[in-house]
Amino acid sequence: GKAALDAFQNALTSKRATFVCDIFNVKLTNIGQRRRDVQVIMTLGALPSDETPLEDDSLEDPSAAPENEASARRRLKSLRKRRRKAAQASSSVALDAPGTKKSHVFKTDVATKLERNKTVTLKKRFHTKWHGRYSELDKRRLHLLLVEQTRFGNLIEIGGCEISLLEIASGSIQQEVTFRDYDGRSYIDSYRCYFHMHFQERFTFVLNFVRWRGDKLRPTDVDSADPYLKFTIKSRRKFRAQDFLRRGSLLGNAHTTYTDKVFNDLSPYYEEAKRPIYYYGTQSDLENETLRIEAWDWDAGIDDLIGFAEVPLRGLLRSGYIETGLGYAVKERAGGAAGVSGNYREERIRPAGKVVGH
């Protein structure tokens, strides 16, 4: 039993997955003294930094031997040189470089001469996909680096931090990061960065429609109808070529299903739809979609539409309960001014009953 459990855990951690990452609403606040041209460089999927820190602890050690002004300037110049090299190396990371094969580098806009206690919103939005195994989530990082852009085009590092991908793989986070800078004597807080991040795995969701009931549906054949329900997900996503044949994608399986028809009943009951709907994407993608419910009257020739409704899926995935009214569009002649009939037709929505289900 233990060997089987270990084998199952190894298979689970070695499974490859696709995570969709969105970074947006990046804001930067100057809490220091200087006005500089700064930029944030983010590396998704970076390995933990094994380099020695750029900060020299002896600079802040009160027990260290005092040094003259010339020695302090030389040490500060050396520190800035090391920071410049580190920033240039981070900004030029290649996606296929050794050790960064699964890394993606993003650069925000440059905040120009940001004044003290002022906040600027960096308008760029980043979207990418990260492919890897579950076992790599705790080994990979989101690395943030704040750099200063000089008038000669050089980049000088101000500060940086790292966040484990395992901490953000649960969904959405709002992160706050404080960068520190060395002014020649001590380290002080210089900038504060805020950003939102979505980091979610792509799944194939299975949507089953069970125990649906219609209530006082609109009759289309005198006083009766033979109704059945049609469920469709109106997708807003742009499908890529590599996703076309996946189950739940555009060609892998249509986002539509039907129930059986019930004869001569305006309050029908349906135990289950003929098949589930498969949807390939993240949970955020699915919650942003709209479910279209249509009630149709079956005929030997062309079926008649009884009514329809469009229900946003946000908030419905947890409860699984849907209750909505149906409507149908009719064209009526609109009245003109002073009681004169108009010469055009206006489309209106009339009630056509209600449906309830899971």
What are the phi and psi torsion angles at 249 (to 5°)? -100, -165
- Any residues with CB less than 8 A from the CB of 108 and at least 6 apart, and which? 26, 39, 40, 41, 42, 122, 124
Work out the average pLDDT over 20-37.
86
C-alpha 62/C-alpha 273 separation (Å) is 75
Domains of the chain plus CATH, in order, are 14-201 (2.60.40.150), 203-357 (2.60.40.150)
pLDDT band at 351 (very low <50, low <70, confident <90, very high): confident
Q: How does pLDDT run across 81-106, given as a tens digit for each residue?
A: 665 555 455 444 433 333 334 678 88
Does the pLDDT at position 230 exceed 90? yes
Burial grade of 120 (CB within 10 A; 0-12, 13-18, 19 or more): middle
The answer to whether 232 and 258 are in contact (CB under 8 A) is no
Task: Quick: pLDDT tens for 251-272.
Answer: 545 678 999 999 998 999 999 9
Q: What are phi and psi of 285, to 5 degrees?
A: -60, -45
Is pLDDT of 165 > 80?
yes
Q: Average the pLDDT over 225-253 and give the result.
A: 67
Which one is predicted more confidently, 341 or 207?
207
Q: Mean pLDDT check: name the lowest of 27-41, 319-333, 336-350.
A: 336-350
User: Looking at residue 62, what is its pLDDT?
Assistant: 39
- pLDDT given at position 55: 41
- Other beta carbons less than 10 A from residue 252's beta carbon: 15
DSSP 262-325: -SS-SS-EEEE-SSPEEEEE-HHHHHTSEEEEEEEE--SSS-EEEEEEEEE-TTHHHH--EEEE
Q: What is the DSSP string of 82-113?
A: HHHHHHHHHHT--TTSTT-TT-EEEE---B-S
Indicate if the pLDDT at residue 156 is higher than 70.
Answer: yes
Residue 5 has pLDDT above 50, yes or no: no
The pLDDT value given to residue 210 = 92
Q: pLDDT band for 72, please (50, 70, 90 cuts).
A: low
Greatest Cα-to-Cα distance within the chain, rounded to the nearest angstrom: 101
